[in-house]
Amino acid sequence: MSDFVSDFWNLYVVVIVTGSILACVALLIIQGKATFTPGKTMGHVWDETLEEYNNPMPRWWTWMFVITVIFAFVYLALYPGLGNFKGMLGWTAVGQHKAEVAKVDAAVKPLFDKYLAMDVKAVAADKQAMEMGKRLFLTYCMQCHGADARGAKGFPNLTDSDWLYGGEPEQIKQTIADGRMGVMPPHAQLGADTVKDLANFVRSLSGLPSDSVRAAKGKEAFASAGCLGCHGPEGKGMHAVGAPNLTDKVWLYGSSEATISETINNGRQNKMPAWKEFLGEAKVHLLSAYVFSLSQGAK
């Protein structure tokens, strides 16, 4: 109600609101007296014999009406409603929401603080903490990683033992708190042929069927084009830059020759958002423990 561009609309609302209430008062006063002929009906007849007289109302009805008018003015004085007037209480929907969130936060703070003081591995072993963690995960993480945390195309599976940035508790916590930017630069300048060689080589690394001649050429290109800079001489990947391990069966985007060629040609950009600001340390800690616990079965 407070964002009118011109003052006209503010006045427009004020006039209509107060005018309506005052009109109600006027109605009460004007209609307070009636011409009344004792014994005369109002002249309406229903169902052949049903008629109505014009008898006075009990006085307390008037007072009820007056009370509603007073209530309206008191309400408009306390709460926003009269154009740009903010109300004496300063109430806003946003403020109320914040207050309620703060109330809940204050109520659950001791619980979160208890876990925050514990080591991630210890939290991961706590049944109640894991129930909380699961609920947090289903609220904030499942949109990308799935409700079962096993990811999707472009979103890592969190339940296996393969980690882009490392699966130790502090590394997981850093990933969640600060986010990650995974960048695979495009290498289309290598030419289509070399890219195909590379793709075959990459497939051979994890034992997928490949053209052995192309794979051999790809092995050389792997070194000369600088792939090993990130993926390591053996293609085992590197946690420091989040380069995937190319020798296992885990594929973030897919393992077909076409998909790998596409990855090499165009590169990939992956982003894990940073949650520290939004969720706060305590929830990040709990989520780290939950994600850590997910991968423990896979070892």
Partner 1 sequence: MISPETPPSLSESVPPVVVSFYEKHKKIYIRDVRGWWNTWRWVLVWLTQIIFFGTPWLQWNDRQAVLFHLAERKFYLFGLVLWPQDVFYLALLLIISAYALFLFTAIAGRLFCGYACPQTVYSEIFMWVENRVEGDRASRMKLDKAKITFRKFRLKALKHFVWIALSLWTGFTLVAYFTPVAELLNALPFGLSGWELFWMLFYAGFCYMQAGFLREQVCKYMCPYARFQGVMFDPDTLVITYDAARGDPRGARKKNVDKSLQLGDCVDCGLCVVVCPTGIDIRKGIQYECIGCGACIDACDPVMEKIGAPRGLIRYTTENALARHFSPADIAKHILRPRIMVYTAILVAITLASVVSLAVRVPLKVDVIRDRSLLAREAEDGRIENVYNLKIMNTTEAAQRYALKVDGLGGAEIVGEPSVSVGSAENHEITVVVRVPPDVGNKGANSIFFDIKAFDHDHISVREKATFLMP
142 binds partner 1 (CB under 8 A): yes
3 state DSSP class of 52: strand
103 binds partner 1 (CB under 8 A): no
CA of 131: how far to CAs of 138, 280, 290, in Å? Answer: 11, 19, 9
297 binds partner 1 (CB under 8 A): no
Please count the residues of this chain forming the interface with partner 1, following the rule CB under 8 A.
35
What is the distance between the terminal CA atoms of the chain, rounded to a whole angstrom? 58
Which amino acid, residue 48?
A: E
Cβ-based neighbour number of residue 33 at 10 Å: 7
* Whole-angstrom distance, CA of residue 134 vs CA of residue 129: 9
Q: How far is the CB of 143 from partner 1 (least distance, A)?
A: 5
Quick one: 41 or 212, whose CB is closer to partner 1? 41
For the chain, the C-alpha Rg in angstroms (whole number) is 35
Site for partner 1 in 182-221 (CB under 8 A): none
Q: How far is the CB of 213 from partner 1 (least distance, A)?
A: 26
* Whole-angstrom distance, CA of residue 65 vs CA of residue 67: 5
Q: How far is the CB of 281 from partner 1 (least distance, A)?
A: 26
Which of 81, 87, 146, 232 contacts partner 1 by CB under 8 A?
A: 146
Site for partner 1 in 21-80 (CB under 8 A): 31-41, 50, 52-53, 55-62
Cβ-based neighbour number of residue 293 at 10 Å: 20
Q: Using an 8 Å Cβ cutoff, are 78 and 88 in contact?
A: yes
The encoded tokens of residue 171 equal 């590394």
Q: Using an 8 Å Cβ cutoff, are 265 and 253 in contact?
A: no
Site for partner 1 in 121-140 (CB under 8 A): 138
152 binds partner 1 (CB under 8 A): yes
148 binds partner 1 (CB under 8 A): yes
Binding part of the chain for partner 1, among 69-77, 142-150, 190-198, 206-214 by CB under 8 A, reads 142-150
Which of 207, 254, 267, 273 contacts partner 1 by CB under 8 A?
A: 254
**Footprint on this chain of partner 1 (rule: CB under 8 A):** 31-41, 50, 52-53, 55-62, 138, 142-144, 146-148, 150-153, 249, 254
